[in-house]
Amino acid sequence: MSRVIVIGSYVQDHCWSAEALPAPGESRIGQFSTGPGGKGFNQAVAANRLGASTRFVGALGRDPLGDTARSFAAGEQLDCAWFETDSPTAASSIVVDAQGRNQICVALGANDALPAGAASAATEGIARGDILVAQLETALTPIQQALDAARAAGALTLLNPAPINPGLNQALIAASDLITPNETEFMFLLRHLLGEQQPLDPITADDQALHQRCRQLSNGTVVITLGGDGAFVSHAEDVLRGDVRNCYRVPAAAVEVIDTTGAGDAFSGALAAALALHPDAPFADLVGFACRAAGLSTERPGTAPSMATPADLRARFGDGGLL
Ligand code: RIB
Distance from the CA of 132 to the center of ligand 1, in angstroms?
A: 19
What pLDDT score does 1 carry?
Answer: 83
What pLDDT score does 89 carry?
Answer: 98
The pairing of strands 156-159 and 11-17 is unpaired
Task: Give the mean pLDDT of the chain.
Answer: 97
CB of 137 closer than 6 angstroms to any ligand 1 atom: yes
211 part of a folded domain: yes
269 part of a folded domain: yes
What pLDDT score does 226 carry?
Answer: 98
143 part of a folded domain: yes
Measured on CA atoms in the order 196, 136, 160, 96, is the torsion positive or negative? negative
- Give the Cβ contact number of residue 73 at 10 Å: 22
Task: Give me the mean pLDDT over the 9-31 stretch.
Answer: 96
Contact 126, 150 (CB under 8 A): yes
144 part of a folded domain: yes
Contact 259, 96 (CB under 8 A): yes
- Give the Cβ contact number of residue 135 at 10 Å: 27
DSSP secondary-structure letter at 241? T
Please tell me which residue in 229, 265, 280, 319 is annotated as part of the active site. 265
Active site residue 79: no
pLDDT, tens only, 259-310: 999 999 999 999 999 999 999 999 999 999 999 999 999 999 999 999 999 9
Which atom number of ligand 1 is nearest to the Cα of residue 9? 10
Distance from the CA of 234 to the center of ligand 1, in angstroms?
A: 26
Closest residue by Cα to atom 2, ligand 1, is 262
Measured on CA atoms in the order 298, 15, 11, 312, is the torsion positive or negative? negative
Q: Best substitution site from 45, 72, 104, 298 to test ligand 1's pocket, by max atoms within 8 Å of Cβ?
A: 104
DSSP 3-state of 135: coil
pLDDT, tens only, 211-222: 999 999 999 999
CB of 262 closer than 6 angstroms to any ligand 1 atom: yes
Looking at the predicted structure, is the pLDDT value of residue 232 above 80?
Answer: yes
Q: What is the pTM of this model?
A: 0.97
CB of 37 closer than 6 angstroms to any ligand 1 atom: yes
Q: Best substitution site from 6, 9, 12, 42 to test ligand 1's pocket, by max atoms within 8 Å of Cβ?
A: 42
27 part of a folded domain: no
Q: Mapped to the 3 state alphabet, what secondary structure does 162-215 carry?
A: CCCCCCCCHHHHHCCCEECCEHHHHHHHHHHHHCCCCCCCCCCCCHHHHHHHHH
DSSP 3-state of 148: helix
48 part of a folded domain: yes
What pLDDT score does 321 carry?
Answer: 64
Q: What is the CATH number of the domain that holds 128?
A: 3.40.1190.20
The residue segments making up the domain with residue 266 are 3-22+32-321
**How many structural domains comprise the chain?**
1
Single-letter amino acid, residue 89: T
Which atom number of ligand 1 is nearest to the Cα of residue 137? 10
Residues 187/190/193/197 CA torsion (nearest 10 deg): -100
Which atom number of ligand 1 is nearest to the Cα of residue 92? 8
> Which phi and psi angles does 313 have, rounded to 5°?
-65, -40
Distance from the CA of 265 to the center of ligand 1, in angstroms?
A: 8
306 part of a folded domain: yes
pLDDT, tens only, 154-213: 999 999 999 999 999 999 999 999 999 999 999 999 999 999 999 999 999 999 999 999
Distance from the CA of 302 to the center of ligand 1, in angstroms?
A: 9
125 part of a folded domain: yes
